[in-house]
A and B are shown apart, each in its own frame.
Chain A
Amino acid sequence: MNKLKIPAVLVLAYLVLPLAVNGNDYVVSLIVAALTIGGIALAWSMLGNLGGMVSFGHAAFFGIGSYASALLTIKAGWPVLVSMLFAGLVAAASSIATMPALRLRGPYFALSILAYAEIFRIIATEWKGLTGGAAGILSIPRLPEIMGIDLGGKIGGYFVVVTLVIAMVGIYAVIRRSPQGLALKAMHDSEDATRVVGVNATMLKALMLVVSAFFAGLMGAFNAHYINFLEPDYAFSGSWTTLAIVAAIFGGYRTLWGPLIGALVVYLVDQLVFKAILPQGHQIILGALLGAMVLFSPTGLTPLIAKLTRLQRKETANAAH
């Protein structure tokens, strides 16, 4: 069953979905946006689930990744894909500046990292010589053409983002199973027991922050080359963080696929259904749904589905007797 899961996801991601929606640019761009948010949600969940840290400031890493990649391609003439990877590293490096905040717990960490996001946004606005200030950057280079596929187009962008997020899930799976990931998981409820066997929790949390910032930055870089323009209020917008948090919590931030599934469901349903019903203030429905989810299945959608299918299977098994 689990062996089939990965090929099934790949066939769905690379064959079924593109064939189903190709030509419908509107739907493709919605899915790309959903997966972009899903990528941030995954990055956020890595820190939240393993590091036990709630961040309100992932827009900072997203924004830094966007700007770094845009500037590397425009000012230094680097190839887009190389710049994107390097932009992830720049975002990761920038997370080191936020590390003093790691000493803080719970809401204090969440708030202080929000302050960092604001600082980075202000820098992007004020450092006009580099970033173009509030006017932003136009004509950011498109994604390239590779083996006859134009990655700069709508469906090309889809292939890039889906590859990025699937790779992220793969890396996340490896981290979760590594001794480092296990130690971080154990820290939640067994801090003393984990520390006396030699685990340096602060260091591991800092590492998770770096990894998480890298991936958020990578998503920012992708987005910059996908939409081809940037301005500080957009790149550092708090909604990159809030949408990702909603998606992660809705989908189940402690699960592997939850954040991605959450992002797809939340964003697509919001844009395609709620927006049609309630053009103004459709986010309210989303808020209410999230509230209901937290009440009825605090661990999110993915664990809920798993529970329901298990129940169903049991019933079918019982019926067979």
Chain B
Amino acid sequence: MLHINGLTVTFGGLVAVSDVTFDMREGEVLGLVGPNGAGKTTLFNAICGLARPGSGTVELMGKNLLSMPIHHRARAGIGRAFQVPQPMHELTVRENLTVAQRFGAGKVDKAKIEELLDVLKLGHKADMDAATSLALTEQKALEVGKALATEPKLLMLDEVLAGLETTGKRAFLDTLEEVRKRYRLSVMIVEHDIETITRMCPRVLVLNFGRLIADGSPDQVFNDPEVIRSYTGGEPA
């Protein structure tokens, strides 16, 4: 469903994403790992339109994403949760979901909003200010909720589990698994915790200095010498 070919993003002289090529099947859960600054967030930005690639192509279900303005990509099926939660300021939790639904899915369906509030355990905070009254877990849940409200085909989660303590993390993982099944999503998830990635993702991509250095099962990938070297701080060969 997602085809990425030769994707390159540069910032001045820095190549943040370098000639990345991979395909993703419908319903797949894909882990994306790599050291800090490897280009994971930038890859997400290029897909959803916040970064402009210098070259390469991105196709979602036959549609060329790169020719679309950002606001069309949500309609095309891209749902994005930010690494640093970005609630829409001055809006309540419910209003955040409503705006995402109205513009990202092109409809108003109050029952669906209530369902999301319920699944994400945000019901008790529904009418509170999203930017100021949420705990970290709730901020992360709203991040996922905004993406889900746009009714995506591909859900891109950027470190939504980072910073949560063990029980919170486990509960949130269960929630993610539930929404993935319920809404039949393809998921791309950035996560530093190898154990979590191994549990969640049958397939893992590894980025280092913008380059895709491994693509395979968690077992294969985490035993790959180049991947191990990249994590112990070595320059790419």
Asked whether A193 is an interface residue with its Cβ less than 8 Å from the other chain, the reply is yes
Kindly report which residue of chain B lies nearest to residue A193, judged by CB atoms: B86
Residues of B within 8 A of A163 (CB): none
A180 to chain B, nearest CB (A): 8
A contact patch SS = helix
Count of residues in A whose CB is under 8 Å from the partner chain: 19
Q: Given A179-B103, A186-B99 in contact, is the A197-B146 Cβ separation under 8 Å?
A: yes
Instruction: From B13-21, B87-95, B189-197, B211-219, give the one contacting chain A.
Output: B87-95
Asked whether B70 is an interface residue with its Cβ less than 8 Å from the other chain, the reply is yes
Query: Are B89 and A186 touching (Cβ within 8 A)?
Result: yes
Asked whether A315 is an interface residue with its Cβ less than 8 Å from the other chain, the reply is no
Query: Are B149 and A197 touching (Cβ within 8 A)?
Result: yes
Asked whether A292 is an interface residue with its Cβ less than 8 Å from the other chain, the reply is no
Q: Given A182-B95, A199-B103 in contact, is the A194-B69 Cβ separation under 8 Å?
A: no
Count of residues in B whose CB is under 8 Å from the partner chain: 35
Residues of B within 8 A of A185 (CB): 90-91
Query: Are A189 and B99 touching (Cβ within 8 A)?
Result: no
Question: Which residues of B pack against A, CB within 8 Å?
Answer: 48-50, 69-75, 78, 80, 82, 86-91, 95-96, 98-100, 102-106, 108, 131, 146-147, 149-150
Residues of B within 8 A of A194 (CB): 88, 99
Asked whether A190 is an interface residue with its Cβ less than 8 Å from the other chain, the reply is yes
Residues of A within 8 A of B69 (CB): 200
A-B contact count (CB 8 A): 82
Query: Are A189 and B104 touching (Cβ within 8 A)?
Result: no
Q: Once bound together, how far apart are the Cα atoms of A182 and B102, in whole Å?
A: 11
A174 to chain B, nearest CB (A): 14
Q: Given A182-B95, A183-B103 in contact, is the A196-B87 Cβ separation under 8 Å?
A: no
Q: Once bound together, how far apart are the Cα atoms of A298 and B162, in whole Å?
A: 38
Query: Are B100 and A197 touching (Cβ within 8 A)?
Result: yes
Asked whether A195 is an interface residue with its Cβ less than 8 Å from the other chain, the reply is yes
Residues of B within 8 A of A200 (CB): 69, 71, 103
